[in-house]
Amino acid sequence: MAEAEGKAGIEAALAALAAHARTLVPGVVGEAMAYALAGEGKRVRGLLVLAAYRACGGSGDATGLAAAVETVHAYSLVHDDLPCMDDDDMRRGRATVHRAYDVPVATAVGLAMIPFAALTASRAAASLGLDDTHRAAVVRRLMQASGAAGMVGGQLLDLDAEGRQVTLDELQEIHRGKTGSLISCSVAIGGMGAKASSRQIAALEAYGDRIGLAFQIADDVLDVTATTEQLGKTAGRDLDLHKSTYPALLGIEGARARAEMLAREAVDGLHQAGIAAPDLEALARFTVERRS
């Protein structure tokens, strides 16, 4: 699978979801959902779904599953940017949803997108020929990663840690939940879509756990080394919010080295499990080499 081709498929699936959102949710909230879904992201999580699906022998069209994960991710960005959270004005190179619309609309958008994502995942799993049990397992895995034991839990820890120094272990726990859980879930449900064995899924999860952490470390580094223009979101926000970060704890070079080590270990783990997946290897490299 060429990355560009995969990304184009994900964009098309998200555009279809945006059109669906407009008809499903009348008025400004449906409009704003479409705005959030169409924002220009890198689609890393969706690409991970597709790469894992192919790596496990899937030969159908898994873009629906990819779009479901991207929908959860898009909702998390909408809520993350709210004044009661990171309070940001810019995302994906344009106004955040609460700036383009308002806070009540952005709040409603995020909430509406969670069940919307779950139903999208369920439909996509059915279209890949999964039976009810496996279909339910995909939706459960996505909601688990999004919830208190995953992304929401990590975000709560992150908010709680603002303004105070945390240890490396605490920071790792925050990152694993806030960012890593959805990344790990992306490869897991890609594998599930292809009816992978539990051994294959465990290997994908281990890969996802490592690159999830590496992804957030790279994010922390970019926050202090890249410009707002490059990032499409406000640079230097972690410092403004007095957040603990990997560069603050390990230095920029130390943080980069940690991310690179995790990406290498992620790929080694796949090889040890006998999974040959050039796309997953390329995505592990992209995670740490990206410039935005």
Chain contacts with ligand GRG (rule: CB under 6 A) = 41-42, 44, 73, 76-77, 79-80, 85, 92, 151-152, 155-156, 178-179, 216, 219
Residues paired with 95 in a beta bridge: 90
In whole angstroms, the minimum distance from the beta carbon of 38 to ligand GRG comes to: 12
Q: Which is nearer to ligand GRG, 130 or 212 (CB)?
A: 212
Q: By the 8 A CB rule, do 56 and 200 touch?
A: yes
Closest by CA to 111, choosing from 36, 15, 41, is 36
Query: Position 202: which residue type?
Result: A
The least CB distance from residue 292 to ligand GRG, in Å, is 7
Residue 121 CA: distances (Å) to CA of 7, 31, 192:
18, 21, 12
CA distance 78 to 257: 31
Cα gap 226→5, rounded to integer Å: 27
* Closest approach of ligand GRG to the CB of residue 21, in Å: 18
Q: Which is nearer to ligand GRG, 80 or 281 (CB)?
A: 80
Contact 166, 145 (CB under 8 A): no
**Closer by beta carbon to ligand GRG, 77 or else 143:** 77
Query: Closest distance between ligand GRG and the C-beta of residue 56, in Å?
Result: 23
Q: Residue 151 or 270: which CB sits closer to ligand GRG? A: 151
| CA atoms lying within 13 Å on the CB side of residue 207 | 35
CB of 290 to ligand GRG, least distance (A): 8
Could you tell me the two tokens for 44?
Answer: 């890393």
Closest-by-Cβ residue to ligand GRG is 41
Give the Å distances, CA to CA, from 199 to 75, 229, 264: 31, 42, 20
Looking at the Cβ atoms of 187 and 194, the one nearer to ligand GRG is 187
The minimum distance between CB 193 and ligand GRG, in angstroms, equals 21
